[in-house]
A and B are shown apart, each in its own frame.
Chain A
Amino acid sequence: MSTTSSPFPLLIVALPFLAAFAGLLLSRWPRTRRPQPGAAEAKGQEAGHQHRGGNRRAAWIAVLPTAVSAALALWLAAAQGFAFFAERAVDPVGADYGEIVTGTVPITLTLQADALSGVLGVLVTLVALAVQVYSVGYLHDDRRYPSYSAFISLFTSAMLLVVYSGDLLVLYVGWEVMGLCSYLLIGHWWEDRSNSRAAVKAFLVTRLGDVGFLFGIFVLGISADSFRIADVLAKVPEMSTATLVTATMLLLAGVAGKSAQVPLHTWLPDAMAGPTPISALIHAATMVAAGIFIVARLFPAFLGARPTLDVLAVMAALGMLGAALAALAQDDLKRVLAYSTISQLSYMAGGLAAGSDHAAIFHLLTHGAFKALLFLCAGAVIHHVGSNLMSQMGGLRRELPVTFAATTIGFAALMGLPPASGFFSKDSLLLAMDGAVSGAALTDAAALLLYASALATVVVTGAYSARAWLRTFFGPGRTIALPEPQPGTAHVVDTREAPPTMLIPIVLLAVPALLLGFAGGLHLDVGVATISVVLALLGSGVVYAFWRGDPVADPARILGPFRVPCERAFYVDSVYAALFVRPILALSRLVVSTDDRVVDGAVRGSGRTARGLSGVLRLAQNGNVQLYVSGVLAGVLLIVVGAVMFA
């Protein structure tokens, strides 16, 4: 395949990157002085005015480049005719920007768009644009809005680098920078210690996976003698199965970390400590999808490594059902959506394991749209109520009609009800898993486990979606005047609906969440589709029945004795803390005391010994010339013997 030269991928990546720097450096230029405490009253308002002016400038710096990038990405994908949906290959479009010598395999700076990265670029830029616009309203009097929007721009740029990169190591750069932005944005309200802890956890857990990912890149790059993705994929048929299994297993560690898959999924629910738009953009629609994307990008390598696909299938099967059950028991609306994200990402991973990268990416796209929509709606609800907890919501459908309609579309897509987009993509995933049971890609046990788990998850998905929907928008209103919100929750506003900068992105995202399913060109398998719809309705019907019985009580009580384990997500966090965190901290304390007592103690001890020895030596310095001469002779003798022996 020849690359058509085009500067567009570079422009799409570079624009948000430059916007990030401009936003950080220029938003407050010229620098406003902080008011002195004495004159705080008089200057307070002025300063407030100034930071609002800075926020406005930062908003323009953030939104405009993202909008241009989105337009370019759309144009690029349209020029290729959205080839991904038609399942045809196109020549990549992009350019080479030179090579970096390393002493072994060089790093090539290639940015290119093919069918897969073309559509994903559109998803990333559009969701980022929606979130940037939404954030203008959501954080309109946050003092730190400029840095916040700059970090989103940096994130957008990093994710686009992952999408368009033609080289594995360049991709890794974007991959890690995304993790950094995630860290910075989860910790946006760092006054609260728990937010700070959540940010650190997210970074460390993903970084643990990323080390494996980097080693996987080494294995592929050294065996293919190139880090270029195209060259690596061309060499896959020549690689031994052992190499492929090693490489893909290592890559899988990074995938599990980034896409919050079992066993590295624990950071994602905690990441909801960040502002809600961040949960929508990074922790639902784009960054967490990067793991799925990378498997699809290197899919030939994964297809050559069957054991890896089996592992992936088991991980996915465990993850999708476990996370869905955990979602059913959460009281925090954002944590429901977070566990739901883990579950849906496991669906995509399952689709990949079943051998259908197309279905997985299709679901990635629709999920990106409807989950971002759900989070933005949740943000509007939280903005209105002033709390994340569903036990403090209820009856909001009259107060927030637009949000209610949009959320309904989002949940319909999540449950997989026709005609919402999720219905079609979930159907193609289930079809792929169905095929895997009789196919040869997976071992029978793994395929069966995967398919059974997927069907069970459909039921649970229906249940938790219905529960969240009912408890938020129906039943008696529980909104009461709340005290001043803690840092970490949004500020309460008086308006009935959210401001237009928040509503417009919601309405615009509702369109693809509803209709994107038709882009795939209606390949329906009526049998599978019927089963999944019936199962989803079954799950939601049971919840509805319980809810009707007592609209105030939590329908999660259907879980009975399993409710607490589900709410605590099966105690994985506690197990990890006991197994890894505490031993490492204990070890580090041990190292510090050892360093002082043993390693440095030996040094100090040798100092004392030297002083003692010098006392002995002093005996030799008695002024006796004969003794000195014999000493010198003995030394010369020793040196001569040594020289003869070594010469």
Chain B
Amino acid sequence: MSGLSWLPVALLAVPLLGALLLLAPPPALRRTLRLYGLAVSGVVLVLAAIMVATFEYGQAARMQFTLDLPWIPGLGVRFHLGVDGISLPLVALTALLTFLCFVYLGVGDGRGQGQLLRPRAGGSRPRALVFTLLVLEVGMIGTFLALDLLLFFVFFEIVLIPMYFLIAVWGGKARRAAAVKFILYTLLGSVVMLLGLLFIWAQAGTLDMVELAARHGAGMSRAVQVIAFLAVGIGLAVKTPMWPLHTWLPDAHTEAPTVGSVLLAGVLLKMGTYGFARIAIPVLPEGAAALAPWLGALAVVGIIYGSLACLAQRDLKRMIAYSSVGHMGFVLLGFATLTTVGINGALFANVAHGLITGLLFFLAGAIKERYSTADMPSITGLLATLPHLGSVLTFAAIASLGLPGLAGFWGEMLALLGAFDPAEALSRPLFLTFMVIGGLGAVLTAAYFLVMLSRVTHGLPGSKAVPVPPGTVLAASGPGDEATGPEASLAIGPSDETADARLEKTGERIGLLSHMPDIRRYEMAAWVPLIVLILLFGLWPGLLLSLTTPAVEALLGVVS
């Protein structure tokens, strides 16, 4: 399988070269900028598609497209890349979501320029945005391709910098604080993880993830494994995020721009959970067995806690962010069972969450852009005002609450099934308790999504919401400036107004409402692929499960 070993390199080189090319400053580039990002990420997507097409599905457990070159010979660090059934879906997901982000930014809506070049407060800096996103893509794809512990860590860290800038430069009102919290929190986690990785290296004498996984922990004592799992696990848990290490997430999501939120939820969180499947569990099986009950307990606490937090949220983006805490709880519960089915479920839920929450953040961004607020009580009657947007929001919420037949269900169901029958080393009554709590969490998940839908999409269109006519106010204020949103407009006291004047105002509002654009072309282009994939994986879960099952069995050392 050496014939296509250039493929993983190309997946990294294309966005990297694309980003570097932007550093050369020809001002003429600005005109073609929105096509540029689209083209580069499109090439990456095509490469990922070639990878998906030429992957040998009969051999999903084996690393394919491998490339193994010495990188830092003195330390024994190697530039080792490859793909198996676990990482292939994630690589494809990353390429797809990045491309869709560029579609969202770059495709115009009939009036010429796309989102990317639209003026906003503080300057839109389109070139820097494209650069940042391309560097981000390098880091994300690299994390899923890396087969060397230090290489993995390098890519894992590369991601943080562009994401920091994405939040800090293009974010909302409180972006600075959120960005600083994000970077400090995740860096701290990474340091702990690095210690763990170095500890593994020191004990096992190799950084090769394939070899380490094949040893199934041989050569490391139980105590070593426990400590290493704890260190690596904390680092990954921050990224995932696991309760109680999640508090960076709501702030980062609320303040990040739409594409930032989409990539954060869709890909970055997956890097944490991918680390559990690729490093923590296969390399340190005894450590995993020792700490799995704790992992499971924190996971189910996260499920309930996240759902309850969602139930009382007012801000749509914040609610979706907290819903990630709950969903990632299911993923971690799946890992904690240490069974093939549980880890399968976790990986499935991972991909499904990327698609669904990505879509949800796109929608939240679109709503915030139109209403200039994401405050749920001030958005009502979305289905009446913007029927198509309301319908897609309904679809995404229903997918996210885990309706069978859509992608969100299978992962959570399999995680619970894994908890019903956990690995032999684990206490069955404990995991049965986890399963029951997780099941109740699924009900709460349905509750907050339905309450959200009921608040936002149902009812008569807003007596409160003051929509922004497209192009005018929006361009000046930018999506972040909430101060000019409904609160300010509502500040006109009702006392000095006659009923007629108020009636007239309402009429104006309704007039404005009917001017609000429903789903635009570029939004449609960015969302339809996600909708199709959510349906596809929901109706035919075997597509993904047949890919991950052999790989997971190999990692767990199950003789198949």
Q: Which chain A residues have a beta carbon within 8 Å of chain B's beta carbons?
A: 34, 36-37, 98-104, 147, 169, 172-173, 175-177, 180, 183, 187, 190-191, 193, 195-197, 199-200, 203-204, 207-208, 211-212, 214-215, 218-219, 222, 584-585, 587-589, 591-592, 595, 599-600, 603, 607, 643, 646
A37-B454 contact given A100-B542, A211-B443, A215-B435, CB 8 Å threshold: no
How far apart sit A102 and B442, CA to CA, in the bound complex (Å)? 20
B224 at the interface (CB under 8 A from A): yes
Whether B417 pairs with A176 at a CB distance below 8 angstroms is no
Chain A residue numbers with a CB within 8 Å of B310 are 588
Check B185 for interface membership: any CB of A closer than 8 A: yes
CB within 8 Å of A: which of B506-560?
511, 514-515, 541-542, 545-546, 549, 552-553
Known: A173-B405, A215-B416, A595-B305; 12 extra A-B contacts, CB below 8 A, are: A100-B546, A102-B414, A103-B553, A169-B413, A176-B409, A183-B450, A190-B457, A200-B451, A204-B450, A207-B442, A595-B309, A646-B224
B313 at the interface (CB under 8 A from A): yes
Q: Is the CB of B311 within 8 A of A207?
A: no
Interface set, chain B 429-487, CB cutoff 8 A to A = 435-436, 439-440, 442-444, 446-447, 450-451, 454, 457-460
Name B304-362 residues within 8 Å CB distance of A: 305, 308-313, 339-344
Interchain CA distance A175-B403 in the complex, whole Å = 10
Contacts A103-B553, A190-B458, A204-B450: A588 and B312 contacting too (C-beta < 8 A)? yes
Decide: A101 near B443, CB < 8 A? Known: A200-B451, A215-B420. Answer: no
Given known pairs A104-B341, A191-B460, the reply for A211 and B439 (CB within 8 Å) is yes
Given contacts A591-B305, A591-B309, contact A180 B381 (CB under 8 A): no
**What is the chain B residue whose CB lies nearest that of A586?**
B312
The residue of chain A having its C-beta at the shortest distance from the C-beta of B343 within the complex is: A103
Q: How far is the CB of A14 from chain B (nearest CB, A)?
A: 11
Q: How far is the CB of B525 from chain A (nearest CB, A)?
A: 16
Which of chain B's residues have a CB closer than 8 A to the CB of A100?
A: 541-542, 545-546
- Is B247 interfacial (CB 8 A cutoff)? yes
Q: List 18 A-B contacts (CB under 8 A).
A: A34-B514, A37-B511, A100-B542, A101-B545, A102-B414, A103-B344, A103-B545, A147-B391, A172-B404, A175-B404, A195-B458, A204-B443, A204-B447, A207-B446, A208-B443, A218-B417, A585-B311, A592-B308
Is B377 an interface residue when CB atoms closer than 8 A count as contact? no
Chain A residues closer than 8 Å to B50, beta-carbon distance: none
B342 to chain A, nearest CB (A): 8
- B174 on interface, CB distance cutoff 8 Å: no
| Residues of the B chain whose Cβ atoms lie less than 8 Å from the Cβ of A600 | 247
With a CB–CB cut-off of 8 A, which chain B residues contact A591? 305, 308-309, 312
- The distance in angstroms between the C-alpha atoms of A560 and B179, with both chains bound, is 67
Contacts of A37 in B (CB 8 A): 511, 514-515
Tell me if B77 is interfacial: C-beta within 8 Å of chain A: no
Pick the contact of A191 from B227, B384, B418 — CB < 8 Å?
A: B384
CB distance from A13 to the nearest CB of B (A): 12
In the complex formed, the residue of B with least CB distance to A176 is B404
A203 and B416 alpha carbons, distance in the complex (Å):
21
Q: Return the chain A residue nearest B435 by Cβ.
A: A215
Is the Cβ of B542 less than 8 Å from the Cβ of A211? no
Q: Tell me the count of chain B residues lying within 8 A, CB to CB, of chain A.
A: 68
- Chain B residues with Cβ under 8 A from A589's Cβ? 312
Across-interface contacts of B311 in A (CB, < 8 A): 584-585, 588
Residues A599 and B446 in contact, CB atoms below 8 Å apart? no
Q: Which residues of the partner chain A approach B546 to less than 8 Å between Cβ atoms? A: 100-101
Bound-state CA distance A287–B294 (Å) is 41
Determine the residue in chain A with the shortest Cβ distance to B203.
A646
Q: In the assembly, what is the distance between CA of A196 and CA of B451, in Å?
A: 9
Considering only CB atoms, which chain B residue lies closest to A600 in the complex? B247
Of B246, B418, B450, the contact of A203 (CB 8 Å cutoff): B450
Residues in B121-141 with C-beta less than 8 Å from chain A: none
B180: min CB distance to chain A, Å: 9
Which residues of the partner chain A approach B450 to less than 8 Å between Cβ atoms?
183, 199-200, 203-204
B404 contacts A177, C-beta separation under 8 Å: yes
Whether B417 and A177, one on each chain, are in contact in the complex, defined by CB atoms closer than 8 angstroms, is no
Q: List 3 A-B pairs, minimum CB-CB distance, nearest first.
A: A103-B340, A103-B341, A588-B311
Q: Which residues of chain B in 368-391 are interfacial with respect to chain A, using CB atoms and an 8 Å cutoff?
A: 381, 383-384, 391
Whether A214 touches B458, Cβ cut-off 8 Å, given contacts A101-B545, A222-B421, A646-B223, is no
- A196/B458 contact (C-beta < 8 A), A214-B416, A588-B308, A592-B312 known: yes
Q: How far is the CA of A100 from the CA of B417 in the complex (A)?
A: 15
B interface, CB within 8 angstroms of A: 181, 184-185, 202-203, 221, 223-224, 227, 244, 246-248, 305, 308-313, 339-344, 381, 383-384, 391, 398, 403-405, 409, 413-414, 416-418, 420-421, 435-436, 439-440, 442-444, 446-447, 450-451, 454, 457-460, 511, 514-515, 541-542, 545-546, 549, 552-553
Please measure, in the bound complex, the distance between the C-alpha atom of A431 and the C-alpha atom of B247, giving whole angstroms. 63
B506 shortest CB reach to chain A, Å: 14
Q: How far is the CA of A176 from the CA of B311 in the complex (A)?
A: 22
Query: B308, B391, B541 — which one has the most chain A CB atoms within 10 A of its CB?
Result: B308
User: Please, which residues of chain B bring their CB within 8 A of the CB of A588?
Assistant: 308-312
Q: Are A103 and B552 in contact (CB under 8 A)?
A: yes
Expressed in whole angstroms, the Cα–Cα distance for A177 and B416 within the complex equals 19
Residues of A within 8 A of B541 (CB): 100
Q: Are B244 and A177 in contact (CB under 8 A)?
A: no
Q: For A169, list chain B residues within 8 Å (CB).
A: 413
Query: A191-B384, A591-B305 given as contacts; is B443 within 8 A of A180 (CB)?
Result: no
Whether A191 pairs with B549 at a CB distance below 8 angstroms is no
Q: Which residues of B contact A214 (CB under 8 A)?
A: 413, 416, 439
Given contacts A214-B439, A588-B309, contact A104 B340 (CB under 8 A): yes
Contact in complex: B404, A204 (CB < 8 Å):
no
Q: Which B residues touch A176, using CB under 8 A?
A: 403-405, 409
Tell me, rounded to whole Å, the shortest Cβ–Cβ distance linking A486 to chain B: 12
- In whole Å, how far is A615's beta carbon from the nearest beta carbon of chain B? 18
| A residues near B552, Cβ cutoff 8 Å | 103
Most chain B CB within 10 A, of A34, A36, A180, is at A180
Complex CA gap A588/B451 in Å reads 13
Which of chain B's residues have a CB closer than 8 A to the CB of A592? 308-309, 312-313
Residue on A nearest B244 in the bound complex, by CB = A599
- Distance (Å) between the CB of B559 and the closest chain A CB? 14
CB contact under 8 A between A203 and B446, given known A102-B417, A172-B404: yes
The listed residue (A101, A103, A173, A200) touching B339 by CB distance below 8 A is A103
**Chain B proximity of A343: nearest CB distance (Å):** 27
Partner of B454, one of A34, A197, A219, A603: A197
Contacts of A190 in B (CB 8 A): 383, 457-459
| Bound Cα distance A643, B546 (Å) | 43
Nearest residue (CB) in A for B547 is A101
By the criterion CB–CB under 8 Å, are B309 and A603 in contact? no
**B405 and A102 contact, CB distance less than 8 A:** no
Contact of B247 among A180, A595, A643, A646 (CB under 8 A): A595
Q: How far, in whole Å, are A388 and B545 apart by their CA atoms in the complex?
A: 50
* Docked-complex contact B443 and A102, CB < 8 angstroms: no
Q: Do A200 and B454 touch (CB < 8 A)?
A: yes
A571–chain B nearest beta-carbon distance, Å: 23
**Interface residue from A98, A147, A200, A215 paired with B439 (Cβ < 8 Å):** A215
CA distance A187 to B227 in the complex (A): 53
The interface residues of chain A lying within 8 Å CB-to-CB of B308 are 584, 587-588, 591-592
* Closest beta carbon of chain A to B68's beta carbon, Å: 29
Nearest A residue to B311, CB-CB: A588
Contact of A603 among B185, B447, B459 (CB under 8 A): B185
| CB closest chain-B residue, reference A646 | B224
Q: How far is the CB of A635 from chain B (nearest CB, A)?
A: 14
A180, B549: Cβ atoms under 8 Å?
no
Q: Which residue of B lies closest to A169 (CB)?
A: B413
Known interface pairs A101-B549, A104-B339. Does A173 touch B458 (Cβ–Cβ under 8 Å)? Answer: no
B404 touching A603 by the CB < 8 A rule? no
**For residue A40, which residue of chain B has the nearest CB?**
B514
Knowing A34-B514, A102-B344, A196-B458 are in contact, say whether A177-B405 is a contact too (CB < 8 A). yes
